[in-house]
Chain A
Amino acid sequence: QSVLTQPPSVSAAPGQKVTISCSGSSSNFGNNFISWYQQLPGKAPKLLIYDNDKRPSGVPARFSGSKSGTSATLAITGLQTGDEADYYCGTGDSSLSVGVFGGGTKLTVL
């Protein structure tokens, strides 16, 4: 069982918007930034969002992140079939000095 909680799956049609939630506790969300990753089948994860809401160079603006309290959200607009992947949230746990991930959410673009 993962430390951070994500829905197992979400789905939406091409062109639509989808959101993926991630919830944790004060020890991991409290003083730490949330990051989001996209993992295509058979590939290494790719960083999509860091510092709650910042995009690395090259990540389209269709991907956005937000954080409020002990929850965070990844939003993807203008869905494309190429966005079908597993998405993970991650952060650090200040009290334990360890990294933690959510269980992952499988996005299906119908």
Chain B
Amino acid sequence: QVQLVESGGGVVQSGRSLRLSCAASGFAFGFSGMHWVRQAPGKGLEWVAVIWFDKNEKYYADSVKGRFTISRDTSENILYLEMNSLRAEDTAVYFCASPTYYDPYAMDVWGQGTTVTVSS
């Protein structure tokens, strides 16, 4: 079945780096756009980044631009989020999500999330 499984979260000091992974299975990962979305404790959803399969274009929220990098390994069906210069405000549960065929911003498959805590 279609499944996304995130990993790589943990506790990290402010200013350090962390790489999240999202293992995909059950669908054509190489032909799908993929998103990262995060949710700070007690807060709403915040869109973080997207990578599109055609042209491999990548886009980021202003809050992470220049610090986070989204990438993928289509041979291993893994999505990554490299997070540098982490700040306390990056503390959140991070979800990877794949969009529907019809609407690239409607996310119909979500992982369970991985928690990132940035300590000062």
Contact = CB atoms under 8 A, between A and B. Distances in A.
Contacts of B103: 32-33, 35, 50-51
B95 interface: yes
Interface residues of B, number: 25
B110 A44 contact: yes
27 contacts: A32-B105, A33-B102, A33-B103, A35-B103, A35-B107, A37-B45, A44-B110, A44-B112, A45-B107, A50-B108, A51-B100, A51-B102, A51-B103, A54-B102, A56-B100, A56-B108, A88-B45, A90-B47, A97-B50, A97-B57, A98-B47, A98-B61, A99-B37, A99-B47, A99-B50, A99-B105, A104-B44
Interface of B: 35, 37, 44-47, 50, 57, 59-61, 95, 97, 100, 102-108, 110-113
